[in-house]
Amino acid sequence: MKPIIAPSLLASDFSRLEHEVKMINESQADWIHIDIMDGVFVPNLSMGLPVVEAIQRHAKKTMDVHLMIVRPERYIEAFRKAGSDIISVHIEACPNLSRVLQQIKKLGAKAGIAVNPYTPVSSLEHSIAEADLVNIMSVNPGFGGQKLIESTFDKIRETKQLISDTKSKALIEIDGGVNLDNAKTLLDAGADVLVAGNFVFSATDPTEVIKKLKAL
Q: How far is CA 106 from CA 100, 103, 109, 110, in A?
A: 10, 5, 7, 9
Mind listing the pLDDT tens digit for each residue in 162-202? Answer: 999 999 999 999 999 999 999 999 999 999 999 999 999 99
Give the active site residue among 30, 35, 132, 192.
Answer: 35
In the chain, what are the domains?
Answer: 4-214 (3.20.20.70)
The answer to whether residue 181 is catalytic is no
Q: Please compute the mean of the pLDDT values over residues 130-135 and round it to a whole number.
A: 98
175 is catalytic: yes
3-state secondary structure of 175: strand
Confidence of residue 43 (pLDDT cuts 50, 70, 90): confident
**Does the pLDDT value for residue 126 go beyond 70?**
yes
Q: Which of 30, 38, 132, 175 is catalytic?
A: 175
Residue type, 14: F
- Neighbouring C-beta atoms of residue 147, cutoff 10 Å: 11
CA 69 to chain CA centroid, nearest Å: 14
Integer distance in angstroms from the first to the last C-alpha of the chain?
A: 10
Percent of residues, the chain, with pLDDT higher than 70: 98
State the pLDDT confidence band at 14, using cuts at 50, 70 and 90.
Answer: very high
| DSSP string for 26-49 | HSS--EEEEEEEBSSSSS-B---H
